[in-house]
Amino acid sequence: MKRGVERWFALVAIRIASLIMPGSLRVKWRREWAGEIWARSDEGRPVIWHALGAYRHSVWVSGDALVSLLRRSRGDVRYAIRTLRRRPLFTLTVVATLALGIGATTAVFSVVDKVLLAPLPYPGGERLVQVTATYTPRDIKQGGRTTTLEALEAYTVADRNLIGSGTPAVVQEGSVTSGFLSDLLDVSPLLGRTFTTRENEPGLGSVAILAESLWRERFGASVDVIGRTIRIDDQPREIIGVLPEVAILPLVDVWTPADLSLDWARTRTRFGSLTTLARARAGVDLEAVRQDLATVSEGAGSEFGSTVEPWRAEVFDYRSLLVGDVEANLWILMGAVVAVLLIACVNIANLLLARGVERTPELVLRSSLGASIGDLARQVFLEGAVLAGVGGLVGMGLAWVGLDVLMAWVPAEIPLGSTTGMDSRVLLFGFSVTVFTGVLFSVLPALRTGKLSIGRIRAQNASIGRHEKMRGAVLLGLEVAQATALLVAAILMVTTLLHKKDADSGFNPDGIIFVHLNMPTYDYGRGGFTDSALRDRFVEELKPRIVALPGVESVGVGTATPFTGMTFMTALQQEGGPRVGSSNGGLGVASEGDLIWFAQLWVDAQYLATLGLPIVSGRPFRDSDRGGSPVVLINETAAAAFWPGESALGWRVRSGADGSWTTIVGVVRDFEHPGIPTAGQAEIYSPLDATPQLVTLLVRFDGEADVIRQQIQRAIWAIDPDLPIPAVRTAREVLAASLGMTEFYTLLLGLFAGLAILLTSVGIYGVMAYSVARRTREMGIRIALGADQTRLTAVVLREAMGVVGTGLIIGLLMARVGSRIMESLLFEVEPTDPFTYGIVALVVSVTSVAAVWFPARRATKANLLDVLRAD
């Protein structure tokens, strides 16, 4: 019994092992092994281990069979190459179509892969989490010793003034804890070293590491840079290294060690700019980390005693945070490019099928000479495989070149976009796509050949079978449907972009320049609104100089512009209690208890007039408001949300129960712009009584922007030659930059849709030209019998347009369903916009008629002589 069971298991194992073998060898092989197993078992000896030997043998046999097949195919491949070289136009069309499809797909995949799929380029990159807590990493580490995190570091970024190496400049400083670059990210410096733990101690970290870009731009990539001293704000720092770009913080120009005193951390944390990154241990999920940190925070609370508030840590998957809503949009692009690839495949399959019919006489000849149906099918398949191989190679070359172009278009808002490049994963993808497409368009023609019997091949006459006609029509219809859907998506995006560009922003963006100044504390006194005498004096001196410049009409001063960097939020108490109902909870409008939230700006009396943002009701600020009775302005959104159904004028707000009341004296027009996320929030404007460290000058001018820009810079440096001036940009430039993402998606979708339409037209033309050529006999007879040429053209057109029309309708339905996914990308255009659908229907129809027209005309020129020649 026991022996029987063992034998049964061994026999089952052999049966499984035989599955990988070619069918022609399988039965014999299985029988031999079963015979031996059975005989050995009868002798009462163990057999189960022999099953392992059977596996090894089956792999060997399969490999051997494959090698033999490849050897046999070598001749076929050579024959396929010769055949294809004899038809250069056909070969070129197929290879170019395929190369475009594979190239575009591979290039887009390389972006999708780096941004969404590949692990972040750091050790355990897939386990990086962001921890938001009210304490520094040191507190978390010391307070409770986490069990789920293996590295925990933090960074913060801020704009600083770089002085002493050429013109003063504003640079982005990344302050990091000691292990951030070495332990967490494991970045190797190009030159020098990274920070030591000691350099993170308060007062000991007067060192800096340059980012590669800054090193090249300002220091000419000199290797002697190590040991030199630069001044970042007022602090001299010794350069100890140069670092390649850090993918997750690509804009950082200079790295400094973070001084981890509790004061530092609490100060930074209050402004919400300290980001703590951690690497979870392998096999630990987000929930476990959350629970672990909750335990740590309980312990930490008691350790710090009553001096600090209890804290709560929140944990997020870092990549999800980093990627945000880019994910869905990138998948839309990937979907679009795959659709183009499929259109390319369908095109090629159609061409190969058509060619298959055309080659019937050759196949007959080969079969007469002894080739089996299997040989012929293999030959047809190999031709497809050769085309796929060449197309794939050229396509990957195109992707390689195209990626550089694509990289120039990838907007900075796409996180990790700068890491995109060709690597083994992308190459593997390109190879897989090549194999997939090769199989896709080679199998149909090969099957068609395989299904033909020798008799049928020989009996086949020159006309197209009904079945074949149907198959061609289905493929063509599919192609038209996909191109239609893509075109709808592209036109919706183009409309979106145009609407965004033309959107009424509420103010006149022509002829405005923004000048952001960062007056350093070491030269101009402490930040905030205190100790502002030096800054006030600077601005008072600068304003008349700028106003005096030729072409300048007015100058306004404020803490920011409504759409750049207005991140200061303030909670105010509303006189007479909160009026916010649930119906008022629109975008950017929030209330909590008896507090209402505003985005806060401080502006001078000329600010709104210079910006051209009109006062809707009430009055603007006057110079007399400065230091006078406290007044504020609010925007339309705030007025509608917090004082629904009544005028907000005369009502008062205050910050907290002990703050003084300020009166609302005017309502300002909403600033709106689709590219700017802060648009549409409740805003409050207070008079600018004192100049803060960060201040924005608005300059309205009439003239050449570049000339004014240079004159403004000269005016600033005439007062303070050490004050760096970040980019002085016009409002138009700021608004245009905000549409970078939309432009990127529109450009690519437009490109893919154009490619799809082009390929589809080529496909329609190819199929129709072939179909008409096959019908020479029919056409000749019809004309000989007196048929009218125009009528014949109409017959051909009608047949083709039936297929195109069906494809068009299916495509429009596909677009109708698919456009919902795009809804978040669209602006002031419905996904079902009838105008778009109408335009697409028109474009597809006209293109298709043009593609059908020429072959149709040729058909009607047939005469009986042609028929006789064809036979």
Partner 1 sequence: MTARTRRMSPPTTAVLRAIVEGSSYGFDIMDATGLPSGTVYPILSRTEKRGFVVSRWEDTAVEREPGRPPRRYYTVTPAGSDALSVAVAHFRTLGEPIPSRS
- Chain contacts with partner 1 (rule: CB under 8 A): 31-32, 34-36, 38-40, 42, 50, 52-57, 60-61, 64
Enumerate residues 6+ apart whose C-beta is below 8 A from 57.
Answer: 17, 29, 33
Q: Which two tokens stand for residue 148?
A: 């789920």
- H/E element, 787: none
For residue 251, what is the DSSP state?
T
Shortest distance in whole angstroms from residue 24 CB to partner 1? 14
Distance CA 507, CA 614 (A): 8
Q: State which residue, 42 or 706, has the beta carbon closest to partner 1.
A: 42
Q: State which residue, 54 or 708, has the beta carbon closest to partner 1.
A: 54
Shortest distance in whole angstroms from residue 31 CB to partner 1? 5
Residue 153 three-state SS? strand
- How do strand 683-687 and strand 729-730 relate by DSSP bridges? unpaired
Q: State which residue, 39 or 868, has the beta carbon closest to partner 1.
A: 39
Shortest distance in whole angstroms from residue 11 CB to partner 1? 10
Shortest distance in whole angstroms from residue 354 CB to partner 1? 42
Q: State which residue, 11 or 638, has the beta carbon closest to partner 1.
A: 11
Q: State which residue, 25 or 422, has the beta carbon closest to partner 1.
A: 25
Whether residue 610 contacts residue 722, with contact meaning beta carbons closer than 8 Å, is answered with no
Task: Give the CA distances from residue 40 to residues 14, 18, 32, 47, in Å, rounded to whole numbers and listed in that order.
Answer: 15, 20, 12, 7
Distance CA 486, CA 842 (A): 14
Shortest distance in whole angstroms from residue 67 CB to partner 1? 12
Alpha helices per DSSP H over 659-739: 705-719, 731-738
Shortest distance in whole angstroms from residue 372 CB to partner 1? 22
Q: State the residue for tokens 């056909």.
A: 90
Q: State which residue, 10 or 803, has the beta carbon closest to partner 1.
A: 10
Q: State which residue, 56 or 312, has the beta carbon closest to partner 1.
A: 56
Shortest distance in whole angstroms from residue 44 CB to partner 1? 13
One DSSP character per residue, 175-212 reads EE-THIIIIIS-PPPSEE----GGGGSTTT--EEEEEH
**Cα 379 → chain centroid:** 42
Residues 760, 764, 766, CA angle at the centre, nearest 5°? 115
Q: State which residue, 49 or 721, has the beta carbon closest to partner 1.
A: 49
Q: With helix as H, strand as E and coil as C, how does 736-750 read? A: HHHCHHHHHHHHHHH
Shortest distance in whole angstroms from residue 39 CB to partner 1? 6
Q: Which two tokens stand for residue 113?
A: 């892969």
Q: State which residue, 38 or 835, has the beta carbon closest to partner 1.
A: 38
Q: Which of 413, 516, 412 is nearest to 161 (CA)?
A: 516
Distance CA 780, CA 770 (A): 16
Residue 692 three-state SS? coil
Shortest distance in whole angstroms from residue 28 CB to partner 1? 8
Q: Which contacts qualify for 21-30: CB closer than 8 Å, 24 or more apart? A: 21/58, 21/61, 21/62, 21/65, 22/62, 22/65, 25/61, 25/65, 29/57, 29/58, 29/61
Shortest distance in whole angstroms from residue 75 CB to partner 1? 20
Q: State which residue, 23 or 305, has the beta carbon closest to partner 1.
A: 23
For residue 119, what is the DSSP state?
P
Shortest distance in whole angstroms from residue 76 CB to partner 1? 22
Shortest distance in whole angstroms from residue 66 CB to partner 1? 14
Shortest distance in whole angstroms from residue 72 CB to partner 1? 14
Distance CA 645, CA 264 (A): 46
Shortest distance in whole angstroms from residue 73 CB to partner 1? 18
Shortest distance in whole angstroms from residue 61 CB to partner 1? 6
Neighbouring C-beta atoms of residue 853, cutoff 10 Å: 16
Shortest distance in whole angstroms from residue 50 CB to partner 1? 5
Task: Give the CA distances from residue 737 to residues 500, 563, 700, in Å, rounded to whole numbers and listed in that order.
Answer: 12, 12, 20
Q: Inter-axis angle of helices 424-451 and 373-409, to 10 degrees?
A: 150
Alpha helices per DSSP H over 18-87: 23-42, 50-86
Shortest distance in whole angstroms from residue 871 CB to partner 1? 50
Task: Give the CA distances from residue 628 to residues 42, 446, 604, 690, in Å, rounded to whole numbers and listed in that order.
Answer: 111, 89, 13, 13
Question: How many Cα neighbours within 13 Å face the side chain of 97?
Answer: 33
Shortest distance in whole angstroms from residue 74 CB to partner 1? 18
Distance CA 441, CA 384 (A): 7
Q: State which residue, 42 or 830, has the beta carbon closest to partner 1.
A: 42
Q: Which two tokens stand for residue 297?
A: 């925070």
Alpha helices per DSSP H over 87-136: 88-112
Q: Inter-axis angle of helices 2-17 and 23-42, to 10 degrees?
A: 160
Q: State which residue, 37 or 665, has the beta carbon closest to partner 1.
A: 37
Q: State which residue, 41 or 110, has the beta carbon closest to partner 1.
A: 41
Q: How would you label 680-715 residue by residue, b for 16+ Cβ within 10 Å and e otherwise?
A: bbbbbbbbbeebbbebbbbbbbeeebeebbebbeeb
